Amino acid sequence: MTTGLAVDGAAPVRGGRPWPPWPQPASGAGLALLDVLHSGRWSIASPCTGEPTRERRFADDFASYLGTGHCIPTASGTAALMTALEACGVGAGDEVIVPALSWAASASTVLGVNAVPVFVDIDPETLCLDPAATEAAITPATKAIVVVHLYSALADLDALQSVAGRHGLALIEDAAQAHGATYRGLKAGTFGDVGTFSMHHTKVLSSGEGGAAVTDDPDIARRIEHLRADGRVRNPDFPGTGMPELVETGELMGSNRCLSEFQSALLSAQLTDLDEQNAVRRANAALLDELLGELGLRPQRTSRGTTERTYFGYAAALPDHVLRTVPSTAVARAVTAELGLHVRPVYQPLYSSPLYDPASRPRFAIGPGHLERIAPGRYDLPEARRAADAFLTFHHSALLGDASDMHDIAEAFRRVLALGSRLAR
């Protein structure tokens, strides 16, 4: 019978067995990259070769997969969010509602277009934006709502679409952690005026870095194209071999936020494995929900409209009686030591995150009173704070294992919770 914890020198639950690696290259990924390497075209700004760019091929593939009219690849999820905000008319001094519990880019992108992020509390079960709190936060200065599908949950899109519609606000759907998830049978990212995705190393669809914005609105799509390619758009007609394919329209100034041809080719290959990998994650997460639920943990829930979940991260709240004596950070360290798997608390509320500090950037002092409007110290949102204290999470790659791996995770939590009083010393 186990009498100690790995953090105290006892033998760990896992015993050094490796977890599934991530990213995992799809079967055609290597050939796709070699094809670009020898193509003579590594960027969409390269001279035309007579073949469609890999970026255009991925854009078509991803738009078809999602069932949306337009996909504009970008250099990152951050770039997708910033161009989406600007394309929806958000600018200096406008307020944008964002969830208090999210990655830093949810707020920093709003700052990046000289607007004001307004932090709103979350639903305690899904950890996503609370629709009632969202409506209560709307002011005459509000221009848009950014809804984030967090870890494995989809937000209440029915309610949020209704709120946005009643108040004439743009709804931007951040699906960076929800590739392939569905809500009422439709893919996440297709419900807002714009949907944005990240293809960072950590994401379930990855090219190391990268992103995409999707929309059914052709005017918004054209603005995003300009914004991400220095004010240029793709020529719909063949310009001739060796000629530039991007047209300088003079319609809208932009910046260079383009995805490379290597990343685009890799994403088209990786997309072929996405649904199968998501199915494995779902099955293992369902088993883990059962195993951890028996220990008193509370797995993250998703909104009622969800028809298919995906898992960027698996998240579960520790029992209240444990949290009364042991902080979640101590439990996370102990479980990590048992498993050799990075288990950690969920994001800190953005207003208390060290990654959100507008005063550290002189560029945001754009006028009298603006720094006061964007200062984080005026917020203290109880559900976001409680979730940050209670929920632990780990990366989706562990869910690509088998049932024995899920039992290892449950056993590690069982051991740590049973002996957790030692962590309080």
CATH architecture of 29-272: 3-Layer(aba) Sandwich (3.40)
- How many CA atoms, within 13 angstroms, populate the side-chain half-sphere of residue 80? 29
| Domain parsing of the chain, residue ranges | 29-272
pLDDT mean across residues, the chain = 96
What is the model's pLDDT at position 2?
52
What is the model's pLDDT at position 238?
87
Q: Tell me if 236 sits within 8 A of 247, measured CB to CB.
A: no
| Percent above pLDDT 90 for the chain | 94
The band of 422, judged by pLDDT with boundaries at 50, 70 and 90, is: confident
The band of 119, judged by pLDDT with boundaries at 50, 70 and 90, is: very high
Q: Tokens representing 401?
A: 């294992």
- What are the residues facing 95 on neighbouring strands? 116, 142
Position 220 pLDDT exceeds 70: yes
| Helices of type H across 141-253 | 157-167, 218-228
Residues 6+ away with beta carbon under 8 Å from 134? 97, 120, 145, 160, 163
Position 1 pLDDT exceeds 50: no
Position 124 pLDDT exceeds 80: yes
Question: Sheet containing 306-308: which strands, arranged edge to edge?
Answer: 186-187, 182-183, 306-308
pLDDT, tens only, 50-75: 899 999 999 999 999 999 999 999 99
Q: Tell me if 294 sits within 8 A of 200, measured CB to CB.
A: no
- Got the DSSP string for 350-382? GGG-TT--GGG-GGG--STTHHHHH-GGG---H
| Percent above pLDDT 70 for the chain | 99
Q: Tell me if 186 sits within 8 A of 178, measured CB to CB.
A: no
Position 259 pLDDT exceeds 50: yes
Position 393 pLDDT exceeds 60: yes
Position 3 pLDDT exceeds 80: no
CA-to-CA distance for 164 and 276, rounded, in angstroms? 34
pLDDT, tens only, 285-310: 999 999 999 999 999 999 999 999 99
Q: CA end-to-end span of the chain, whole Å?
A: 22
Please confirm, yes or no, whether 187 is among the known catalytic residues. Answer: no
Position 230 pLDDT exceeds 90: yes
Q: Which of 203, 234, 282, 396 is catalytic?
A: 203
Q: What is the mean pLDDT of residues 107-134?
A: 98
The band of 368, judged by pLDDT with boundaries at 50, 70 and 90, is: confident
